[in-house]
Structure 1
């Protein structure tokens, strides 16, 4: 299937697909081969200004005045077109991100439903009447859109996270500027092609490509941008928060994670092993909510590790285009170097790295790293504290429930946590005590478009997905009307 469009890919600003103002382009690679996959036009600051102005004018002239039924109809039409092109977009993600095609197809299966969900809940975004003390005053609230929203995506799940940000922003009545990661921009560009066909007015959705240092920085500091939603690293998120402070923009940040998977001695071990292995190999471990700290009770440590190691030995690492592949490459040479450096750091700290699985085919040119367990890890090691973002897990033992909770919270992150136990009281105590935005009991963390998602501590600010995502994209107005004569 030929899914790569004519090149270089252009910017979408208002009603025009156009080249970057200075004619510069950048390469995006196929991480399985390290070969150039496509060229993309790079936006200048002037291009960003033009995109923001187009979005602002579209908001002022018509989009903020549309009613829920109109916005819902357009989002449902977009969902239909996405379903039609889902296989094509999945192949683009496989080629550009390096995910196995089976994973890409599965991860995009829910996207049409996500778009339809946000179309359906628009009428639920409403104010309320408040019975204030004075009987002569009618007090009510209105939920109103914010205006122009800058949506800045990461490279690991470009399409899923674009839809998660885009759908509630549009549903609430905002216009948007999409800035895909310059590492993996191609699936977002394919989605952008569908907006005109779906009937969205020009300027409601705009796309600018380029590095965060120029394109991203101009977006987050532009005076006409009312809201910034960013998914990515904690360091960059903190920088964005500082950049938006001067004009007090609304900011949603979905940042890093170092999630624990806690296995008690009464756990269903095979289920726990399946979650641990899945988090290690899924998207080559490049998943913010992946459980990268395995906290295992001492009494079942050896049995758990034996089952997990057997599972990992069977992992096939190779071409993401092969349906038999379990795990593809990392996204870039930079990411591969980062992961390998952390493995060296862990070994120097006293951990024992062990790699598993078999690399299938000629993978030497690509950015492949085999699944890796850091055995004999300690909780205070850098490798157990810092986000590696690759197929690497630290294995740490604990004695009892109290120590398990302490170790789970011994992190500056708080995105997600998983625990396995048959003891209901213990499960509820742990769920209450763990400092994270999501807790899964006897199952893995599975995000859903209709349930809120977001982190504690340095894992972020605000919520995405579910009705909470709509609220993140609105502002609340209180109105008091004196009815006395």
Structure 2
């Protein structure tokens, strides 16, 4: 199959305040493969103040009616809907110059981010509209004044300004966390590939799965949009460091202290350890990783390797290995199955990249590339094709250009080094990068290199023969881990699981008495008023239980028989429990009960043994032993409903919910001797 050159350019539309609007005139976008007109992009006629008002008023209003779990379910449904329509996205993606293999990262990787955040939200967030962070802080000696951090959604919009290289993933990996947080988004894609973003947003709006106002799209310029941003809004930017530095100092951004998160292109590096020899598996892994990063999306990734730091003793072998591997890369129409690398996004981008290569050649030598290879489809002059290019900088410690100039294409610069300190110094000269990779099987060397360069990189991949089979590679950010880096890389953070959701939430320190704090947060706080009745809590269904419902048990005196029997059953014969003489000389001054005996004894005090709504105990958290308990001491327990979370019910399953119970064990002096939480699965009366 071959992608045909587009016959005519179509006008892209923006989706704002609930409708599609076509701008007049605008910028002509050309197909990356053949250079033919593909689309016209303009935002002319859009009232940007109205766009922001619509997001804040309509979007925020509808999202505020939903919980984290509600939004997670919507996100999962949307991901499934988009996945069913992926083939249409792939067909458009070919026009960007991307092969199907590389398009997978953008299209299915972006959809996968929706699935990931849906799972993260349902697993790590409560079924609430706010999030509690950390533990309750005791602010007074008597316990009547306490504090807690509470995170609530910002009442503004998230403006996402994205780069051209990932028109799908770049949008969805940012939209997923802001949507989970309950904040509406305005997406502004890069003009060159906006047609693919527009197609995905059209599918999203046609699905009808998102609340009104949750997502808007601007194709074209931003006009006076920045002038109308307010304090509750946020901006994220992905692109060049130069553009980011201009936008983040916009007078309105500065005056209103509007959060501005930057993920900028950087001079990422890969380091080959000195312990690696050309016959080692790590040597081949290193060469494959470098070549793969050069040819994946034609090197147009913010995470792509730009600087290749190698031991001086094997520089020649690395050059030859790269030359051999790159010689097998086929260029041409990316829709063809026999093509490994497509063009850059445009002929203009190719020409700009060539200019940077010329500048780099002032301090480096061209050792691979520079020729015009045979194309398998496409137009060399009108398209954005460029052969993989390798430069060699013999004196990287004194050179400047390789550490300052980024050729945003299939270009790397080799930098020889001698000694681990020199390798780390070269890595740090990038002035902050998104990612670095270290390839070695020597763990001592790996440790030295990691701590030598970690402070200057947002992510570090340790690559060797043990993880190569499952490693996602140098250039692949993952939803679970942060994406971003210091310095030149922008100093921002994206992804990272729950970390990125919190970026769209306002953290507020709440100070109150325990009962008021419990009433506001819906979670039991030690010292708050509790509710006790004649019905045992374990005899109540999920809906009947309320936060603060409590049971104070009868008492039990600990005996020597308890200690002996528990030691025999558990096999724990630690001297403090079993040796009278040694125990007297211990920090306890006497024989004491096993901590886990206290937990077991407490369960015997509060459990209601007959079958009932409590189906299973599947967790114990935050266990702390406060005071020792000896022979003759008397204990009792207080069991209190701390929080409740209804679980999603699958077909054929019994409806259930998770109840977290706070357990406090006290002695005859009302001193707290142990505290923890248990999690139980409790039956619901309704699905």
- TM-score (normalised: structure 2): 0.66
Bigger mean CA deviation after superposition, 147-156 or 194-203: 194-203
Task: Provide, for residues 304-351 of structure 1, a one-character-per-residue CA deviation record: whole Å limited to 9, x for no partner.
Answer: 221111001111111112122111111123311211112222223352
Query: Which residue of 11, 20, 25 corresponds with 1:17?
Result: 20
Post-superposition CA distance 1:394-438 (Å, at most 9, x none): 111111111111111112232111111121022122112212001
Aligned counterpart, 1:164: 173
Question: Comparing 316-325 with 23-32, which one deviates more in the overlay?
Answer: 23-32
1:359 is aligned to 374
Alpha-carbon distance in 1 for matches of 2:515, 2:325 = 74
Aligned to 2:31: 30
Cα shift at 1:225: 6.1
- 1:314 corresponds in structure 2 to 328
Residue 224 of structure 1 deviates from its aligned partner by 6.7
Change (3 A) 1:119 1:340: same
Look at both structures and tell me which one has the larger radius of gyration over its CA atoms. Answer: 2
C-alpha displacement of 1:87: 2.0
Match of 2:107 in 1: 108
Say if 2:61 is the partner of 1:55. Answer: no
Deviation at 1:477, TM superposition (A): 1.2
The 3 A distance-change label for structure 1 pair 308 and 85 is same
Alignment CA distance shift 1:455-1:438 (3 Å): same
Q: Report if aligned partners of 2:25, 2:40 keep a CA contact under 8 Å in 1.
A: no
For structure 1, the 5+ residue unaligned runs are: none
* Equivalent position of 1:242 in the other structure: 249
| Partner residue in 2 for 1:438 | 459
Q: Is the 8 A contact 1:228 1:251 kept in 2?
A: yes
Alignment-derived partner of residue 419 in structure 2 = 400
- Looking at structure 2, the residues matched to 237 and 210 of structure 1 have their Cα atoms a distance apart, in angstroms, of 18
Partner of residue 186, structure 2: 177
Q: Secondary structure at the match of 1:93?
A: helix
Using a 3 Å threshold, how does the CA distance of structure 1 residues 265 and 280 change in structure 2: closer, same or farther? same
Deviations 1:40-72 (A, max 9, x none): 34244x432222121111234221231123212
Deviation (angstroms), 1:112: 3.0
1:226 aligned residue? 233
1:473 to 484, 497, 504: 504
Q: List alignment gaps of at least 5 residues for structure 2.
A: 126-130, 277-281, 517-687
Q: Deviations over 1:148-191 (max 9, x none)?
A: 11011100111111111111011100001110111110121112
Relative to structure 2, which stretch is displaced further, 217-226 or 448-457?
217-226
RMSD: 2.4
1:152-301 alignment, distance < 5 Å: 152-196=161-205, 197-211=207-221, 214-215=222-223, 218-219=225-226, 222-223=229-230, 226-243=233-250, 244-267=253-276, 268-301=282-315
SS at match of 1:288: coil
Bigger drift between 35-44 and 81-90 goes to: 35-44
- Could you tell me how far apart the structure 1 residues matched to 2:269 and 2:407 are? 14
**Deviation of 1:291 (Å):** 1.1
Mapped partners of 1:163, 1:280: distance in 2? 25
Alignment of 1:336-415 (within 5 A): 336-355=350-369, 358-361=373-376, 362-364=378-380, 365-379=382-396, 380-415=399-434
1:384–1:394 CA contact under 8 A, matched in 2: no
1:327 maps to 2:341: yes
After superposition, give the CA deviation of every residue in 1:352-389 in whole Å (9 maximum; x if it has no partner): 35307833235322111100011245432414421211
Distance 1:357-1:87 versus aligned 2 partners, 3 A rule: farther
> Which stretch has the larger CA shift, 370-379 or 181-190?
370-379
Runs of 4+ in 1 over 4 A off after TM superposition: 1-6
TM-score by length of 1: 0.92
- The answer to whether 1:449 aligns with 2:448 is no
Structure 1 contact 462–472 (Cα < 8 Å) conserved? no
Say which structure is richer in helix.
1
- Counterpart in the other structure of 2:623: none
Instruction: Report if the CA contact (8 A) 2:114-2:176 is conserved.
Output: yes
Aligned mates of 1:50, 1:224 — CA distance in 2:
17
- Residues 14 and 205 of structure 1 are in contact (CA less than 8 Å); yes or no, is this contact kept in structure 2? no
How many Å separate the matches in 2 of 1:3 and 1:168?
37
Higher relative contact order (CA 8 A, sep 6+): 1
CA contact (8 A) 1:58 1:175 kept: no
Residue number in structure 1 paired with 2:91: 91
Q: Secondary structure at the match of 1:154?
A: coil
Which of 416, 422, 427 is the matching residue for 2:435? 416
